[in-house]
A and B are shown apart, each in its own frame.
Chain A
Amino acid sequence: MDRGLNAQPALEFRGVSYRINGSIILENLSFCIDPGRTLVLLGRSGSGKTTALKMVNGLLFPSSGQVLVESRATSDWDLIQLRRSIGYVIQEVGLFPHFTIGENVGLVPRLNGWTPHRITARVAELLHQVGLDPVRFLNRYPRELSGGQRQRVGVARALAAEPKLLLFDEPFGALDPVTRVELQDQFLELRDRLQITSIFVTHDVREALRLCSEIALLHRGKLEILAKPADFMDCQGPEARAFLSTL
């Protein structure tokens, strides 16, 4: 998109490796994401994509190499501040069961010290954006919602404090196919409107092609391919072919 104005990548992985108990989870991973773009990390279970994602908001740190958010290594960030500026959506949603929907969505704004009035307005706006009627849902609890509704709340919660980055870890993996497509559409619409840099982890190549600006294919902790969706279709590597054959 408008690269000329801000040539600095929003996020960069620089030679990132991650080892735990002698096994290598990630090996020398390097890539950049420009502001406003969506990178999809595609790979099988155990390919290291979730591990890579968790390095962005400092849930994990590289064994070697660096993850740079706005050109600053995650190890140099104040972690609390970093995390509050990054939206995080996971497959299990992880809504707080003892908080109402309104309290769930308004959490990070509250942690950031917004006024109650501003939080209320923001929460209503967000619920509206993800297609939930604020009047109906504000005071309900997560257990009263369907899986799809819960994940919509999860997305609203991630967007609440106007994050500079969004992380998605197979967010729609547990949903039925129809709801999944609905939420993908929602994601696309929000992304185009808000222009937030996003990383999206999935093992579904169809979803990857639909949502990405670029696809990064991970295989056994290594970056196999980094390509635009059109180019990815023509990739000849065995792992890429394996994924494309599922189409």
Chain B
Amino acid sequence: MIPPYLWQEIAQLTGEHFVLVLVSMAIAAGAGLPLGILLTRRASLRTPLLGFANVMQTIPSLALFGFLIPIPFIGGIGKRTAIFALVLYALLPILRNTLAGILGVDRAVRESAIAMGMTGRQLLWEVELPLAAPTILAGIRIATVTTIGTATIAAAIGGGGLGVFIFRGIASVDSTQILAGAIPAALLALLSDGGFSWIERRFSVV
């Protein structure tokens, strides 16, 4: 059976993992949403910005964490580097879904809003964002679930979290340790997915 000290470590590392994901997602959403909105207004920026986010996604995560270590300010060993990498990964789905959600608003609805004398700000807050919300939320949901998985690699560069168990388990060929990291991570992912689906149902207006 599982010894008590392990329970304690599971609780601690799960908390760390959760904070890692939460901070990364807050930054990614905080940057991705305004950037996505900007992309709906400036078509010329779409290719370069989405291209950048796409390229970030294609870099294998372990490699990206490694690349960041020698970079000054954002790099090094520890949580900051891990969060930076996680943000880069989470950015694409949020960016892409914000763009798709807003561009997907019915042309007739948008035209009516403009023709009725809404200002650009009113159009965004009263029409585009509420109608795009399900798509944007879906992007954040995908990004969060992915980030919970990817965040296990943060342990490789001293970022902590449930990855600590997994890397330790691999090194010592101890499947109990691996499972102690993998199971809570999977549960965390399931829980957040369920949470988002609750939010979607709770606030769906259309």
Contact with B along A176-206 (1 / 0, CB 8 A): 0000000000000000000000000000000
**Contact status A59-B117, CB under 8 Å:** no
**In the complex, which of the residues B111, B118, B119, B122 contacts A90, with contact meaning CB atoms closer than 8 Å?**
B111
**Contact status A80-B130, CB under 8 Å:** no
Given contacts A83-B117, A84-B116, A107-B116, are A96 and B127 in contact (CB under 8 A)? yes
**Contact status A83-B113, CB under 8 Å:** no
Contact with B along A51-86 (1 / 0, CB 8 A): 000000101000000000000000000011111101
A156 to chain B, nearest CB (A): 13
Roughly how many angstroms separate A141 CA and B206 CA in the complex, as a whole number? 8
CB contact list, B93-137 vs A, under 8 A: 106-109, 111-119, 122, 127, 130-131
Give the residues in chain B near A79, CB-CB below 8 Å: 117
**Contact status B106-A94, CB under 8 Å:** yes
Give the residues in chain A near B171, CB-CB below 8 Å: none
Contact of B205 with A by CB under 8 A: yes
**Contact status A98-B115, CB under 8 Å:** no
CB contact list, B127-155 vs A, under 8 A: 127, 130-131
Q: How many B residues touch the partner, as a band? A: 10 to 19
Main secondary structure of the interface of B (DSSP, over half): helix
Give the residues in chain A near B116, CB-CB below 8 Å: 83-84, 88, 107-108, 111, 157
Roughly how many angstroms separate A96 CA and B126 CA in the complex, as a whole number? 10
A70 to chain B, nearest CB (A): 16
B136 to chain A, nearest CB (A): 14
The residue in chain B whose Cβ has the minimal distance to the Cβ of A103 is B126
**Contact status A90-B108, CB under 8 Å:** yes
**Contact status B113-A59, CB under 8 Å:** no
**Contact status A96-B117, CB under 8 Å:** no
Q: How many A residues touch the partner, as a band? A: 20 to 34
**In the complex, which of the residues B109, B119, B205 contacts A94, with contact meaning CB atoms closer than 8 Å?**
B109
Contact of A93 with B by CB under 8 A: yes
**In the complex, which of the residues A59, A84, A94, A98 contacts B108, with contact meaning CB atoms closer than 8 Å?**
A94
**In the complex, which of the residues B111, B119, B122, B131 contacts A98, with contact meaning CB atoms closer than 8 Å?**
B131
Give the residues in chain A near B130, CB-CB below 8 Å: 98
**Contact status B117-A111, CB under 8 Å:** yes
Give the residues in chain A near B109, CB-CB below 8 Å: 94-97
**Contact status A93-B206, CB under 8 Å:** no
Given contacts A96-B127, A98-B205, A143-B206, are A88 and B112 in contact (CB under 8 A)? yes
Roughly how many angstroms separate A79 CA and B131 CA in the complex, as a whole number? 25
**Contact status A98-B112, CB under 8 Å:** no
**Contact status A108-B117, CB under 8 Å:** yes
Contact of A92 with B by CB under 8 A: yes
Q: Given known contacts A93-B108, A108-B116, what 20 new A-B pairs fall within 8 Å (CB)?
A: A57-B115, A59-B111, A59-B114, A59-B115, A80-B117, A83-B117, A84-B116, A86-B115, A88-B115, A88-B116, A90-B108, A92-B108, A94-B108, A96-B112, A97-B106, A97-B109, A97-B206, A98-B131, A111-B116, A111-B117
Identify the A interface with B (CB < 8 A).
57, 59, 79-84, 86, 88, 90, 92-98, 107-108, 111, 141, 143, 157
